[in-house]
Amino acid sequence: MRVLTGIQPSGDLHIGNYFGTIKQMVEAQKTNETFAFIANYHAMTSVLDGDRLSQLTMQCATDFLALGINPDKSTFWVQSDVKEVLELYWILSSYTPMGLLERAHSYKDKTARGIASNHSLFSYPVLMAADILLFGSEVVPVGKDQIQHVEIARDIATKFNNQYGDILTIPEFRVQEEVQTVPGIDGQKMSKSYGNIVNIFGEEKKQMKTIKKIVTENVAMEEPKEFENCNVYNMAKLFLEGNNLIELQKRYKRGGEGHGHFKIYLGEVMWEYFKEYREKREYFANNQDEVREILNIGASKAREIALPTIEKIRSVTGISY
């Protein structure tokens, strides 16, 4: 199975990105043909500072490698190193009805939150469709918020194929049921663009400070507490299994502890969980040339795979003449 996902280098990677996508990708590497890329063109919808975008692109690549994307198993590259994706983006634009984009939740949510609405934000799903379709992806692991974008890619591909035959592979999304949407510290979807993240590789004290800001119900210390809708619990459960999870539920129900205690516990569990990854990250952070080399090789591999598809598309659409 050909599995592909991308992530925007628009800020520090957070635990929503990890459990929503990265972890699935690392698992998928074991038995699939996997493609992972850093979506730096997409990040331009929110990062318009050149120095910052290039710095975040390398940071994101470093983090991906630390978290287990293995370049021997996955094709791993930076989106802008395979320019054919922009060509396909334009071609697909002519197969994208305006109404399809006008219905996109992500665009509506972002503009409702005051993010400036511009053309790239609006046409974002078409570039994402190009990412997916250029590589013949069959499965796209994403967080729940991105399902609609994969559906848009399916619609565009279907429209294209209706005219020219079975050229594009129709992709399917894959969402980790038990993860779905990881809440941010304000209880909304955790997102780099919403300023509510708990990042993966923060400094220990800062991490704890962020965790202490997680919004919780106001219940007296001695009272039993609800865990189902608690933002702290909903983050902690991502890191816990079996008895450890049941024990945390009991602590909520028992009363006698405040949310502050659960926050400290969450901080500790999380710190431990990412320990091994922090060590790997340090290695790649100190060997940035190696990271660049990995990305170059990845881009060549990705382009080789993309070329037959884009050539076929140029031919049927009359762009090659």
Q: Can you give the binding site for ligand ADP, defined by CB under 6 A?
A: 7-8, 10, 16-17, 20-21, 142-143, 145-146, 179, 181-182, 189-193
Could you say which of ligand ADP, ligand TRP, none residue 63 binds, taking C-beta under 5 to 8 angstroms by partner kind? none
Q: Which does 181 bind (CB under 5 to 8 A by kind): ligand ADP, ligand TRP, none?
A: ligand ADP
> What six digits make up the tokens of 90?
């334009």
In the shown chain, the binding pattern of residues 18 to 47 toward ligand TRP, with x for contact by CB under 6 A and - for none, equals ---------------------x--x-----
Nearest in space to 304 (alpha carbons), one of 75, 28, 126:
75
Q: Which stretch binds ligand TRP (CB under 6 A): 109-117, 142-150, 238-246, 287-295?
A: 142-150
Q: Residue 67: which of ligand TRP, ligand ADP, none does it interact with, CB under 5 to 8 A by kind?
A: none
Task: Tell me the residue type at 146.
Answer: Q
Q: What share of the chain is helix, strand, coil (3-state, %, to 5)?
A: 60, 10, 35
Cα separation, 117 vs 119, in Å, equals 7
Which window, 22-30, 58-66, 125-133, 240-248, contacts ligand TRP (CB under 6 A)? 125-133
Q: What is the dihedral of CA 61, 64, 66, 71, to 10 degrees?
A: -80
Of 63 and 131, CB closest to ligand TRP: 131
Name the binder of 38 from ligand TRP, ligand ADP, none, CB < 5-8 A by kind: none
The residue among 173 and 227 lying less far from ligand ADP, judged by its C-beta, is 173
Binding of residue 131 to ligand TRP (CB under 6 A): yes
For ligand TRP, give the closer residue by CB, 39 or 313.
Answer: 39
Asked if residues 193 and 242 have their Cβ atoms less than 8 Å apart, the reply is: no
Neighbours of 157 (CB within 10 A): 21
Q: Does 14 bind ligand TRP (CB under 6 A)?
A: no
Minimum gap (Å) between residue 44 Cβ and ligand TRP: 12
Cα(54)–Cα(120) distance, integer angstroms: 19
Element (H, E) at 62: helix 50-66
Phi, psi for residue 128 in degrees, rounded to 5:
-65, -40
Distance CA 255, CA 209 (A): 24
57 contacts ligand TRP (rule: CB under 6 A):
no
